[in-house]
Amino acid sequence: MSDTKTILEQLHSEVAKQLLQRIQSGEAKAADFGQAINFLKNNGIDAEATEGSPLGELSGKLADILPFTGTDDTE
């Protein structure tokens, strides 16, 4: 493996670790979340809102408070 590739892999790993550490510590600001979201997106990481998952719970809560009916509301 080339030195450059090794350095880039280490950098990638450290960026992920630092973002995760900030979020887990509760110190993350909105910009940190935005960076984490972009980091995941740029690395092809997706999540599906499945029942019982944190994303699924958030989706359910949003569905309860948002004024959408699930049909086309463009009257």
For residue 63, give the amino acid letter.
A
For the segment 39-45, the average pLDDT, to the nearest whole number, is: 93
User: For residues 46 and 40, what is the distance between their CA atoms, to the nearest angstrom?
Assistant: 7
What pLDDT score does 28 carry? 94
- Convert the pLDDT of each residue in 5-28 to its tens digit: 999 999 999 999 999 999 999 999
What pTM was computed for the model? 0.65
Across 13-75, the runs of DSSP E, i.e. the strands, are none
Specify the pLDDT at position 50: 86
Task: Tell me what pLDDT residue 55 has.
Answer: 82
Domain residue ranges of the chain, discontinuous segments joined by +:
3-65
